[in-house]
Amino acid sequence: MSHDVLNPTPEYLAFWRERHVCTLTTPRPDGTPHVVPVGVTYDPEAGLARVISNRHSKKVRNVLEAPEGSARVAVCQMQGKRWATLEGRAAVRTDPASVAEAVARYAERYGRTPSPNPDRVVLEITLDRAMGRA
């Protein structure tokens, strides 16, 4: 079932606000998928999903090594028969304001503030597709 990225149904948005471990799929340089567990926040007003990470992680390297430093990615979560996927183009953000925004949103969704990390960056996903049954 398709959803409007900028105007999701209340049920779809509520599912993205629940505490769930998600997956992030990034393309490796050879085109094969790299799938890892992550925490994701969804900001429909901005049309963004955010994943905080260490700048030295493979997922970050996959995005940076993609053409023009932007890769097509997907984030997904599921619980029982409910599932939701967001797709779009990811870019790595290193500026303090973007990192602080992503950390604050993560803390709100997951109920804990990550410990300080000077190597923290944000994978900021500009969304163009949403689907699922929530």
Q: What is the pLDDT of residues 20-65, one digit of tens each?
A: 999 999 999 999 999 999 999 999 999 999 999 999 999 999 999 9
Encode pLDDT of 72-88 as tens digits. 999 999 999 999 999 99
User: What is the identity of the amino acid at 103?
Assistant: V
Place of tokens 């960056």: 121
With a cut of 90, say whether residue 69 has pLDDT above it.
no
Model-wide pTM > 0.75:
yes
Paired tokens of 57: 């992680």
List the end-to-end C-alpha distance of the chain, in Å, as a whole number: 10
The DSSP line for 91-126 is: EEE-SHHHHHHHHHHHHHHHSSPPPP-TTEEEEEEE
CA atoms of 119 and 30, how far apart (whole Å):
26
